[in-house]
Amino acid sequence: LYGTLLREYGPPGVLNMSWPQAVAIFAQGNAAMYTDASSIYANVLDPTLSEVADKTGVAVFPAGPAGSIMYNVTSWGLAMPSTSKNKEAACEFIKWATSKDVVMKTQGEGAVPGARESVWADPAGAAAFPADWVAAVAASANGRGYDRPLVTAVTQARD
């Protein structure tokens, strides 16, 4: 259904667009809605980059037949290979990079929306983001970590 709607009502080539192409179409005012990772929100809400910044709102998806089950845990993350020769240093870096202080600083500057609930709950952490954005983050806090049926036989499924 989603692919059919895009193909029939979306801009030419929409099914093969990269996010920079799709967000540019939205930012120019040539698409009704856009959905993607929160890390690229500035491309839409920054008035120096977007012609629709002052006309754009942020909201969670409406509930479907199965209810409102938001997918909000993406593949962004920090990891350390088991073969790392610097496990202690890598672990310390991960702890530092995801610490409340660092997330508060980057999120507070409006640079990167973080994943720490404590930062979103702090007025200073949420101040750089529009109120509707903050409300959507709060409403989607209990999402799930996948958006497709789980597949354990990935190689076979791709054949």
The pLDDT tens digits of the residues spanning 107-128 come to 888 777 888 889 999 999 999 8
Residue 113: the pLDDT is 86
pLDDT of residue 75: 52
- Paired strand residues for 64: 67
Alpha-carbon gap, residue 8 to 16, rounded angstroms: 14
Phi, psi of 107 (to 5 degrees): -70, -40
The residue type of 49 is L
Is a pLDDT exceeding 70 seen at residue 22?
A: yes
Q: Which residues fall within 8 angstroms of residue 92, CB to CB, at 6 or more apart?
A: none
Q: What percent of the chain has pLDDT over 90?
A: 40
Q: What are phi and psi of 146, to 5 degrees?
A: -150, 155
Percent of the chain topping pLDDT 70:
90
Question: Taking all residues of the chain, what is their mean pLDDT, rounded to a whole number?
Answer: 85
